[in-house]
Amino acid sequence: MNGERDIGAWLEGLAGTGCGTELSDEISKALSGGMTDTAERLLRGYKRTLLDRLHDCEDKVDLVDFLLWQLKK
């Protein structure tokens, strides 16, 4: 990251992922302080959260598919 302008643009992209302000602020502080390893750890944790939500939704879609299949029987 080079400077505040880059961090700001990067955080705008992060906001597009649905990241909350608390986590975004933590990542911003880490990046501003040159602690990219901390920012990476935080971002990886958020990715894990998103993947968990995705898997929960996939399970629900699978259940709906099963129920639809049962209706056709």
Condensed to tens digits (0 to 9), the pLDDT of residues 51-60 reads 999 999 999 9
Query: DSSP readout, 14-45?
Result: HHTTT--HHHHHHHHHHHHTT-HHHHHHHHHH
- The pLDDT of residue 73 is 83
* Backbone CA torsion sign across 40, 43, 47, 53: positive
Query: Radius of gyration over alpha carbons of the chain, in Å?
Result: 18
Q: Where are the domains of the chain?
A: 3-72
**Mind listing the pLDDT tens digit for each residue in 17-54?**
999 999 999 999 999 999 999 999 999 999 999 999 99
Q: Which of 20, 21, 7 is nearest to 50 (CA)?
A: 20
Query: Rounded distance, CA 21 to CA 43, Å?
Result: 13
How many CA atoms does the CB half-sphere of 36 hold within 13 Å?
4
Q: The whole model's pTM is what?
A: 0.79
pLDDT at position 2 = 55
